[in-house]
Amino acid sequence: MAPPNSPAPPRPIFTRAARPSPPSAAAPPKRQPRISTMPNSNANSPPLLREAALRRAIRTSLTAFATLALAAEGHRPAAHHRLILAELEALARGENDRLMLLLPPGSAKSTYASVVFPAWWLAHNPRANIIAASHTAALAQHFGRRARNLAREHQRRLGFALAHDQRAATDWMTTTGGSYYAVGVRGPITGRRADLILIDDPVKSHAEADSPAARAHLWQWYQSDLVSRLKPGGKIVLIMTRWHEDDLGGRLIAEASLGGDRWRVLRLPALAESNDPLGRAPGAALWPEWENAEAIARKRRIVGERAFAALYQQQPRPAEGLLFRPETITRLDAAPAQYRARVRAWDLAATEARPGHDPDWTVGLRLLKDDAGRFIIDDVVRLRGGPHEVEQAIFSCAARDGRETTILLPQDPGQAGRAQISYLTRKLAGYHVIASPETGAKTTRAAPVASQAQAGNLAIVNAPFLRPLLEELRDFPAGSKDDQVDALSRAFAHLASAPEPARQINLPLLSR
């Protein structure tokens, strides 16, 4: 028995009348009564036929529902909105389960993906659970309220109603067993489960995007808290404007290239580029009815090139004025078999990682100089551990690199530093070990190799160490860590100053 004051279950949207038997030739056919699903109505009336057709349309087409739902607000889906809706429909059909929508601010991406889509999804998945997350609880509540109001306004057409006792903007349920829960990033979601996760604008500012700690916290929350709430076969939609190369969207794309979740990515820049998904000519505006190319160009002059590339073109790039430009560094599939010289330079730390603490890394970076004079990073070892683990890493790399690879160690000032180097050198008997103190500012030591990178004379082998190394190079000297940069500076200084190997000369031939 239904609980008191609970709404009546929704009526079926459309019922097909039974087909009559073929009439006989002897008697005229009797008129068959039409079966109506609407109370006190005449199904022959044009308005009711139109309503039935409308219900069928919005239940089968997200675009039809969006057009109807937003008409009262004066909105009509533009070309890029229709493409967004088509991608969301494909996700609902099961063609993919990870969708990333990357669009500039003001493109109404949230209206279609975070407001219209949840109500339509619940019509197709009556018992589904949705978790919607945004950078703050206030923004999540805003989207939740709009989605709830839209579902309530069109509940008869969608085939469900809001449960009487569960109608809060951030936490509402339907009479068919579906639910919607809105939460801010890093907010409480323990005990919740989701068939669909919507992440809309997880980054709230450029300052937050530029903070390595904030990016790390967001990534940890996504990995540990949010994804663990997803049911088997569940789907995730990320709706965002790009802020930084290592923001959530950038990191997910990078992880996909290393074998992580495969994402369907729809990137729609404010000004079209070549091979535009909408077929626009290069330079054409995304939504000219709302903001034309001239208005976008004016914003470009105001915000600057770096912010425009990220926010409006969805192509973040390093801050101007930083020392290294990752895009100038060549990527190689493998290091050359022949080279002039090779070194492994170390930057030492001896602090173990523990909760709430972010210690420096011990880094051993291997750099070689090839026959063309190019410098190539072909291996990076990085660890956080105590003195014993650091020593074992040095010895292990030495054995793996071979005796032809010079080992470069930093020597701390004072008696303790000299004692450490004396101990390590004895343990590395048979290897060429060079120890020297660090002198000068970090940026001064890194400037020579940064110049080689700018000139295209530095390359890195594609390997798992590639992304963290490029991130540190990109953020140096403003980043939180510089251990890999210090090791690279030491390695380059040695190779650049080492004398060239003597050329072999055929004396009998020259003496003729």
pLDDT tens-digit series, residues 378-393 = 999 999 988 999 999 9
pLDDT tens-digit series, residues 37-90 = 333 444 445 777 777 778 888 888 999 999 999 998 888 999 999 999 999 999
- Residue 338 reports pLDDT greater than 70: yes
Reported pTM = 0.59
CA–CA separation, 116 and 66 (whole Å): 6
Does an H or E element contain 183, and which?
strand 179-184
Contacts of 183 (CB under 8 A, 6+ apart): 131, 132, 133, 137, 140, 170, 189
pLDDT band at 5 (very low <50, low <70, confident <90, very high): very low
For 27-55, the DSSP string reads: SPPPPPPPP-SSTT--TTSHHHHHHHHHH
CA–CA separation, 9 and 176 (whole Å): 8
* pLDDT, average across residues 469-486: 86
Alpha helices for 320-441 (secondary structure H)? 387-401, 415-427
pLDDT band at 441 (very low <50, low <70, confident <90, very high): confident
Structural domains present in the chain: 55-268 (3.40.50.300), 326-497 (3.30.420.240)
